Amino acid sequence: MSKSPQQAGDPRRVIDQRVVNIDELALEHHAKGDKFECNAARIGPLLGAKDLGYSYDVVPPGKRSCPFHSHSAEEEMFFIVKGEGLLRYGSETRRLRAGDFVCCPVGGPETAHQIVNDSNADLAYVSVSTMMPAEVCLYPDSNKVGAYGEGVRHMTPAGSGVDYWKDEA
């Protein structure tokens, strides 16, 4: 039987464990190369989320937080909190600004997406995603495929697979 937060030594009420304000988040810095950089917090685990993942990302001018990608299992939604930038979606682009919601359903290259901060000020957004136990992502810019699951994180160039029966029979 699980303990209540009070029994486990946490003085907060259960309801208080399910709420956090953006200004209370401890942002972690992430950077890779000269294109990718953000300060982000993964909020879902902090609040005890079970089936949804949500994060808060602050992207500095001229950067993006992740590569252009699509999902085969997880749907994502973004809400622009402050700033403005560019949404890449499939083969199209459009401007984003504070207050915009962005829907990124599952699919192939036609649903690949990326938010780019091409402005002179920070761009902040909240992302929400369905948390599936297994996921395959396509990365059209780099022609990669990523497979993710329990204990699995595998990237490979698209088209470099092996036959299903190789080394089996």
pLDDT in tens, 121-136: 999 999 999 999 999 9
- 142 has pLDDT over 90: yes
Indicate the residue type of 124: A
pLDDT number for residue 4? 47
Percent of the chain with pLDDT over 70: 93
Write down the domain spans for the chain: 24-132
Domain 24-132 sits in CATH at: 2.60.120.10
Phi, psi of 67 (to 5 degrees): -70, 160
- Cβ–Cβ < 8 Å for 156, 142: no
Single pTM value for the model: 0.88
Candidate from 8-12, 18-22, 68-72, 103-107 with smallest mean pLDDT: 8-12
Q: Is the dihedral of CA 156, 157, 159, 161 positive or negative?
A: negative
